[in-house]
Amino acid sequence: MTHHVTRLGGRRSALSVPPRLKFPGSHRRPRRVAMLSVHTSPLHQPGTGDAGGMNVYIVELAKRLAAINIEVEIFTRATAGGLPPVVELAPGVLVRHVDAGPYEGLNKEDLPAQLCAFTHGVTQAWAGHRPGHYDLVHSHYWLSGQVGWLAAERWRVPLVHAMHTMAKVKNAALAQGDTPEPAARVIGEQQIVRAADRLIANTAEEADELIRHYDADPGRVAVVHPGVNLERFSVADGRAEARDRLGLPQDAFVPLFAGRIQPLKAPDVLLHAVAVLLDQDPSLRSRLVVPVVGGPSGSGLAKPEGLHKLAAGLGIADVIRFHPPVGQDKLADWFRAASVLVMPSYSESFGLVAIEAQATGTPVVAAAVGGLPVAVRDGVSGYLVAGHDPADYARALRRFVDEPGLVDRMGAAAARHAQGFGWGTAASATADVYTAAMHEYRRRVRSHHG
């Protein structure tokens, strides 16, 4: 993927990828951006609670923006008492803890009631600065968008918003037993789409969904592919060494699930697929290890032991290994050690995990949903599966079992493919979006006052 900024032209038009946007000298980049991440702190470990790909996205993007001289201050909700009000995450990146509601026991669904308190905290932090301290507000996820809308208006700066996931899209592809997103969220998202000066989508498909489901103005939607930390997620010393470190047998076939344990991510589909594989070939049992790395989240919290019970019920508990969430460096080792990463998600705005795994030289078997067809090159760096029938996943996994060289061959292609998704590219594309939003905002203000 050479061009990482897509501008959408006429109404509901097909997406084209013109050359990189060029801005004349008068269109300056922002000096300082207020980033809002209400429900998940950039300091939390991904894979725990509601922390996931979005945390990684915000941390990496902020660091790379700071590296190109755009300071970032990230506002997030304090989830424990006694946290320092400000933490330096990296040079040029500050995390500001805002008191909003009780520290413990609030899940994502309770947070809309705390948005007023959060907005109060954000505007209080701003009150200590001179006017013009922030050039722009960049909000992540709809809860932050609600606060960003108000803050941007109050500070008289443009609002750039990234949805990350959308209620209407999630509700159109619900996993069995999953809870639909509430109407309040749909309304909140529609308000943000109208208020934002720019909407950043992860993929062309997401941009299309914003236009189709939320009637977004195509001229305000820009596509910026998320990046991955290619220093951390690298082939490094290879599969054998990673297996040694994690205590995995060298000759095992290891299909890995890594992510939050919730119906949306569909780890149950992998378990059913493994049962199908073992039915077809019982001799596989002695060399099959299936790690499930992650913690329960969202609607998965209601029955955290559900997956253990399913494994027992399917008679495959002996080959499944449950592991709690791990830090990013350890996660990179799990990716290296795996034969293949399996992502049967029902909805995935981008699927960063797929790029991270490929960057370590591991192919991916994924559902053909959301951003995964961009993240995975079907037939080259892995296989895309239409739908969620375990037999189809078993068939894809079977190819790797039957053809010994396939893991290494696809793995090498996967590592090459992932090189196109560095964070430096994503940050400079995001900076271009900021610059366009500021230019347009100033022009609008001038014409309004003219």
165 labelled binding-site residue: yes
450 labelled binding-site residue: no
369 labelled binding-site residue: no
Considering Cα of 180, then 114, then 147, then 429, what sign does the dihedral take?
A: negative
List Cβ neighbours of 312 (8 Å cut-off, separation of 6 or more).
none
Q: Where are the beta strands (DSSP E) in 278-436?
A: 290-293, 320-323, 340-343, 364-367, 382-385
132 labelled binding-site residue: no
- CB atoms inside a 10 Å sphere around CB 127: 7
Write down the residue that tokens 């007023």 correspond to. 116
Q: In what order do the strands lie in the sheet with 198-201?
A: 6-7, 221-223, 198-201, 159-162, 136-140, 32-37, 71-77, 93-98, 86-90
107 labelled binding-site residue: no
147 labelled binding-site residue: no
Could you give the residue ranges of the DSSP H alpha helices within 221-296? 238-246, 267-280
303 labelled binding-site residue: no
Tokens of 120: 């109060």
108 labelled binding-site residue: yes
Tokens of 59: 């941390």
46 labelled binding-site residue: yes
141 labelled binding-site residue: yes
The amino acid present at 137, given as its one-letter code, is: V
168 labelled binding-site residue: no
List Cβ neighbours of 330 (8 Å cut-off, separation of 6 or more).
none
Is there a contact between 188 and 145 (Cβ–Cβ < 8 Å)? yes
Tokens of 307: 């997956």
45 labelled binding-site residue: yes
336 labelled binding-site residue: yes
Residue-by-residue DSSP string for 74-98: EEEE--STT--SEEEEETTEEEEEE
The amino acid present at 303, given as its one-letter code, is: K
356 labelled binding-site residue: yes
Cα atoms in the Cβ-side hemisphere of radius 13 Å centred on 319: 25
The amino acid present at 229, given as its one-letter code, is: N
55 labelled binding-site residue: yes
Q: Please, what's the largest Cα pairwise distance for the chain?
A: 78
Cα atoms in the Cβ-side hemisphere of radius 13 Å centred on 403: 12
List Cβ neighbours of 349 (8 Å cut-off, separation of 6 or more).
163, 164, 165, 166, 202, 203, 206, 370, 371
31 labelled binding-site residue: no
422 labelled binding-site residue: no
326 labelled binding-site residue: yes
* Binding site, annotated residues for 1D-myo-inositol 3-phosphate: 39, 50-55, 108, 141, 165, 185
* Binding site, annotated residues for UDP-N-acetyl-alpha-D-glucosamine: 45-46, 53, 260, 265, 326, 348, 356
* Binding site, annotated residues for Mg(2+): 335-336, 338, 362
* Binding site, annotated residues: 39, 45-46, 50-55, 108, 141, 165, 185, 260, 265, 326, 335-336, 338, 348, 356, 362
